[in-house]
Amino acid sequence: MATSSRHRKPVPRTPRSAWGWALVGAVAGVVPAVVAFAPAHRLAQSVASATGGQVQLLQARGTVWTGSAQLVLTGGSASQDSAALPSRLDWRIRPGWGGLHAQLNASCCTPTPLRLQASAGWSGTRLTIIDGESLWPASVLTGLGTPWNTLQPQGQLALQTRGFTMRWSAGRMSLAGQVQLDARAMSSRLSTLRPMGSYRLTVQGGEAPTLTLSTLDGHLQLNGTGQWVGNRLRFAGEASATPEREAALSNLLNIIGRRNGARSIITVG
């Protein structure tokens, strides 16, 4: 005799809420793992996109948070120019109070690691470079294309920061603190004179950030001042040669600015 349907025992069912919590638990476990082990090439893609292809991290290894790559500067996606650092760049990125904390190290260029802090909020985005010093080969600038690929500078770039912070808010950039770049024992393929001189470029933050170029020593004299108006830099300067080296530097003076007698006028913006 068939058993009446009204006497059948109901099949136990897992409550829908239990399935929901199980799904939440799975996502909570998987998402952090995916984020924690995101491959380094994801960071490389982000850097290339943000810089229009001018800064590239090639042969990236490790993860977004701890990894290394070959740092290459280029003239952009359509450029054939490129130049790489002599050594790989290592990074370590960690979340913390107030944003992300990053540490960068390259055996060729950073006697102590560079440290940065980045944060984003309703008031905008902020990037702070912790006080430090680093040394970079000037030859890497040739990768950026015009005019560096013509000048092909040689020498050493000593970068020093003091309380330097960049902020972006409502499409505007503001600067605080100071950056000093010393270009030491510089030379160029456009002149047989080696070295031509040493120079200092100083960026001073404030309500109206300024840029100052001065000559430390050498036969090529470079001087000028500039100021940021909104996001645009307006710079006016001049280049000249000591009388006894004017012939050796004439070709370079013709290239780097508008020739006016013994001087070359440099304008930007």
| Residues 49-77: tens digit of each pLDDT | 989 999 999 999 999 999 999 999 999 87
The pTM of this model reads 0.83
- For 198-219, what is each residue's pLDDT tens digit? 999 999 999 899 999 999 999 9
Question: Half-sphere exposure of 212 toward its Cβ, with a 13 Å CA cutoff?
Answer: 10
Tell me the C-alpha distance between 261 and 64, whole Å: 54
- Structure tokens, 172: 């505007």
At residue 170, the pLDDT reads 82
Q: What is the pLDDT of residue 197?
A: 97
195 touches 208 (CB < 8 A): no
What is the SS3 assignment for 154-201?
EEEEEEEEEEEEEEEECCEEEEEEEEEEEEEEEECCCCCCCCCEEEEE
Would you state the pLDDT for residue 176?
96
Neighbours of 135 (CB within 10 A): 15
Instruction: Please report, for residues 28, 155, 173, the alpha-carbon distance to residue 140 in angstroms, rounded to integers and kept in the order given.
Output: 44, 10, 26
Tell me what pLDDT residue 58 has. Answer: 97
Q: What is the mean pLDDT of residues 176-191?
A: 97
pLDDT of residue 164: 96
Is residue 12 predicted with pLDDT exceeding 70? no
Q: Which residue type sits at 251?
A: N
- Alpha-carbon span 160 to 182, nearest angstrom: 8
Would you state the pLDDT for residue 27? 39
Cis-peptide into 137, omega within 30 deg: no
Report the 10 Å Cβ neighbour count for 14: 8
